[in-house]
Structure 1
Amino acid sequence: MKTISSRDNALYKELKQLATSAQARRKVGRSLLDGVHLAQAYLQGGGKPEFCIVAESALHHAEVAPVLAQCEAAGSQCICLPDALYQAASQVENGVGLLLVIATPQPSAPSALTMSAVLLDGLQDPGNLGSILRSAAAAGIRQVFCSAGTAAAWSPKVLRAGMGAHFQLEIFEGADLLSLCKGSAVSVLATSSYAQKTIYQTDLTQAVAWLFGHEGQGVADDLLDAASDKVVIPHLGEMESLNVAAAAAVCFFEQVRQKQGAAS
């Protein structure tokens, strides 16, 4: 294991850039996994980190030590930082002191939608995006397509909100949602507060692609027109609509409910 003790070290400077700059992460195609839970989720999926960064005080932590040993066995470069340097690079307050640097996954995008999927049109909030990824993975959905205007899926905030869901999904960024909708082999269901048909009146026993839009503006008109159907989640209170992450969870698990009912 290598120890870095100088703020002027080139590798440490690069680490700080990765921690604070989305542009830097995109340029080198790397992402940061901050914390034991994300590290474990990545390693359980067979991932091999490029770097394992550990705070000096965490070297013998009961959860950190096994992760460090696994990274060393995989041939990852392991680096120890004094606590002050580690805290300056980490974006997590009161974290355990473990950070992995990984190559950002870049799966090959399919030419058409053929299975249950999620399409995200201009979603802005990292917390909402991470929550939707987490709910999608829990519901057994495997593909998520993000438009160019959607928040960066591999940003530290989205990764933390996703709680490891990223490693159970194929995430495609910069996707042409209109082309996907027009060429889809499965029904594309757009959520709209103006729709007449509810999700409970919709047959969800087959694969569908769920289309969710910007937190304030909703799904773009051209995508609404290209969708197979428009659906709404009925509610009794006087709120105009649900938060998009909450709406997505309701939709996904109504689909789960219907599928389990059909199978029983």
Structure 2
Amino acid sequence: MKHITSRDNAQYKELSKLATNSQARRKAGRSLLDGVHLCETWLELRGHPEQAIVAEGALQNPEVAAIIARLEADHAHVLCLSDQLYHAVSQVEHGVGLMFLIETPNKDVPHALSVNAVLLDNVQDPGNVGSILRSAAAAGVKEVYCAPGTAFCWSPKVLRAAMGAHFVLDIYENVDLPALVQGAQIATLATSGYAAEQLYQLDLKRPVAWIFGHEGQGVSDTLLNGATHRVIVPHLGNVESLNVAACAAVCFFEQVRQNLG
């Protein structure tokens, strides 16, 4: 375990930049997982991080101590920061004092949609994106494709909202969604508050690609026109539409209901 107590340490400066600057994270291809739950889930599903960062005081926490002991037994890289230095870089208020530095997963986009997937068209709120990822993973969705303008999936806020869903999904960013829809081998379902086809009228006992759009403007006309179905989630209350994350959850679990039935 390496200990750092000075803000002038070069490694600490680099870590601070990654923790506070999204452009730095994108450029470096690195992400930070903050908190015991995310770190434990990564460890179980993906293996060792590039580096574990722990606050000195957190070593007294039994959960943190167990994770650090496991990593040290495997000769993994562990960096211990003074509590003051750690909390200066952590983005989680009242966090437990553990982060993992990981290489941001990056895969080539498949040639065609063929399994249950989610397409996010300019969904900008990190909380919504994280909630959609969490619901998608719970519903057995395999792939997520994000258009430019969609919140960066590996940002701290999305990671916290998704609660580890990232690690069981294949996530692709900056994707040309119209081209992907055009070459899809499965039905593509674009949600719209003005569609005529109701969600509960669809046959969802097959792989489909769900398309969800911007919180205010919805799915773009290009994607609406290219989708095989335009779908509305019917509701009884006097409201214009559902929140996009709530809409996605309803759609995913209607598909689950049909397949379980």
Query: What TM-score does the superposition give when structure 2 sets the normalisation length?
Result: 0.98
CA distance in 2, matches of 1:35, 1:5: 21
| 1:224 aligned residue | 224
| 1:154 aligned residue | 154
Q: Shift of the alpha carbon at 1:71?
A: 2.4
Deviations for 1:140-164, whole angstroms, at most 9, x for unmatched residues? Answer: 0010000011110000000000000
Q: Secondary structure at the match of 2:60?
A: coil
CA distance in 2, matches of 1:246, 1:75: 43
CA distance in 2, matches of 1:177, 1:71: 40
> Mapping of 1:171-250 within 5 angstroms?
171-250=171-250
How large is the Cα RMSD of the aligned pairs? 0.8
Deviations for 1:203-225, whole angstroms, at most 9, x for unmatched residues? Answer: 11111000000001100001100
CA distance in 2, matches of 1:74, 1:88: 28
| 1:140 aligned residue | 140
Q: Shift of the alpha carbon at 1:72?
A: 2.3
> Mapping of 1:1-264 within 5 angstroms?
1-261=1-261
Q: Secondary structure at the match of 1:132?
A: helix
Q: Secondary structure at the match of 1:59?
A: helix
AA in 2 matched with 1:68: I
CA distance in 2, matches of 1:232, 1:5: 56
C-alpha contact (below 8 Å) 2:46/2:167 kept by paired residues: no
AA in 1 matched with 2:85: L
What is the aligned residue count? Answer: 261
Q: Shift of the alpha carbon at 1:77?
A: 1.6
Q: Secondary structure at the match of 1:63?
A: helix
C-alpha contact (below 8 Å) 1:49/1:71 kept by paired residues: no
CA distance in 2, matches of 1:72, 1:152: 32
Deviations for 1:59-116, whole angstroms, at most 9, x for unmatched residues? Answer: 1311101211232244432111111111001000111000110000012221100011
Q: Secondary structure at the match of 2:62?
A: coil
CA distance in 1, matches of 2:2, 2:112: 46
Deviations for 1:159-208, whole angstroms, at most 9, x for unmatched residues? Answer: 00000000010000011100110000000000000001111001111110
Q: Which runs of 5+ in 2 are unaligned?
A: none
Q: Secondary structure at the match of 2:99?
A: strand
Query: What TM-score does the superposition give when structure 1 sets the normalisation length?
Result: 0.97
CA distance in 1, matches of 2:73, 2:33: 19
